[in-house]
Amino acid sequence: MGAVLAVAACAPPAAGPPPVPASDVRDGTWTGTGTYESPGGPQELDVRATFRQGTVVRVDVLPAATNATSRRFQERFADAVAGEVVGLPVDEVHVDRLAGSSGTGAGFMQAVTQAALAAAGR
């Protein structure tokens, strides 16, 4: 049973909006880092999110991929994501596949969740 719990704890969080109510999110700029698997191996993605009254007012994706192809996908994703999430309450943000990138969305959601949790003081 212990081994099953350890494996479950390492599993990536379910794709979906950050588990933080918008009402809990303090105003300010917060950061997070997400990871995901790509055909080129594990990749990271840094996100800087600015929240005001629980709403995303700015989001900057800072590509951190070590693989050149993954970096190009992250850059394309970074160019497109603000148009998808700015203006949404943080608890309604959900990005999956965007700008031809299927894995970057998972890393983005992890990073936004980290930023929202930090903004909520958790």
Structure tokens that stand for 89 in this block: 């309450």
pLDDT tens readout for residues 100-111: 777 899 999 999
Instruction: Report pLDDT for 112.
Output: 95
DSSP label at 72? H
Helix axes 68-85 and 104-119, enclosed angle (nearest 10): 50
Beta bridge partners of 60: 48
Instruction: Report pLDDT for 97.
Output: 80
Over 60: is that where the pLDDT of 28 sits? yes
Which percentage of the chain shows pLDDT scores above 70?
86
The residue-averaged pLDDT of 34-49 equals 92
pLDDT tens readout for residues 60-115: 999 988 889 999 999 999 999 999 999 999 999 999 888 777 789 999 999 999 99
Average pLDDT, the chain: 85
Instruction: Report pLDDT for 24.
Output: 95
Write 78-87 long-range contacts (CB < 8 A, 24+).
Answer: 81/108, 82/58, 85/56, 85/59, 85/112, 86/56, 86/57, 86/58, 86/59, 87/55, 87/56, 87/57
Dist. CA 27–CA 8, nearest whole Å:
33
Over 80: is that where the pLDDT of 1 sits? no
Over 90: is that where the pLDDT of 117 sits? yes
Q: What is the pTM of this model?
A: 0.82
